[in-house]
Amino acid sequence: MSEVQRRGFLARLTAYEPLTLITLACVAGGLFVLQRLTSEVLEGETFGFDKAILLALRHQGELGVPIGPAWLTHAVSDITSLGGVTVLTLMTVLVTVYLLLDRRWPIAIFVFSSVLTGWLASTLLKILIARPRPDIVPHLVEVSDLSFPSGHAMVSAVTYLTLGALLARTQRYRSTRIFVIGAGVFLAVIIGLSRIYLGVHYPTDVLAGWCAGALWALGCWLISKRFVPSRAPDAAAEAENDDGR
């Protein structure tokens, strides 16, 4: 390696170091929070907290009726469907096809594989923890699988945050990148809250789902930032030619 190449490598390493350290710190902190939350759930320490919130969202004299106007329940039911398997599958496939048609093969494949493996991780966590669904209040939608972590919260966070973070890398303007990531965060939050309102998840289920999903999306973004090109091959070649002029 020549002196010029060595200096260029050190310059790039220095440029990435702050971002890498911050990201690793976030991942470590998120893993600690997830581990502590899981431990508290397994020991039953969070039941009082979960019960208080679920009961606060229902009328005291009639637990089958949630607080708020009738239209709110209908709206929340629509919102929770945004975190369902059907909607998320369509979203992932459409975004992947768009990236393929835009000749961004590496990031298209990475997006699809990141979301798919995130879904598998969510299923594995459910099986390992095996927490039953809450029976404190009547469920407002039909559910049949396990409770911890919330699949809707985690999978929607995995899907929308991963898609948002990776798609943001393909955008030219900072305002567009901020909007794309912000939209992903907003969708993940309201979907998780909808599961609590409908009575099908404990609040701690949703917190764990958000934490695990955000960790997965953050890890995928860090890997893609380092190893996956965001531009199409032709665009990258043109950019290199322009830099060489």
Query: Residues 128-141: pLDDT tens digits?
Result: 887 888 888 888 88
Residues in the chain: 245
pLDDT of residue 75: 92
Neighbours of 219 (CB within 10 A): 17
d(CA 168, CA 181): 7
* pLDDT under 50: residue ranges of the chain: 9-10, 13-17, 235-245
* pLDDT given for residue 4 in this prediction: 52
pLDDT at 19: 54
* Sequence spans of domains, the chain: 18-229
Model pTM score: 0.77
Which tens digits make up the pLDDT trace of 148-186?
888 888 888 888 887 787 777 777 788 888 888 888 889
pLDDT at 18: 53
How many angstroms separate the CA atoms of 190 and 188, rounded? 6
**Does residue 201 carry a catalytic annotation?**
yes
Q: Are 162 and 154 in contact (CB under 8 A)?
A: no
> pLDDT, tens digit, for every residue of 64-78?
888 888 889 889 989
The catalytic residue among 59, 74, 139, 201 is: 201
152 is catalytic: yes
Residue 8 Rama label (left phi>0; alpha psi -120 to 50; beta): alpha
Residue 190's pLDDT is what? Answer: 92
- Amino acid at site 157: A
**Whole-number pLDDT of residue 1:** 52
Q: By percentage, how much of the chain surpasses pLDDT 90?
A: 3
d(CA 229, CA 245): 22
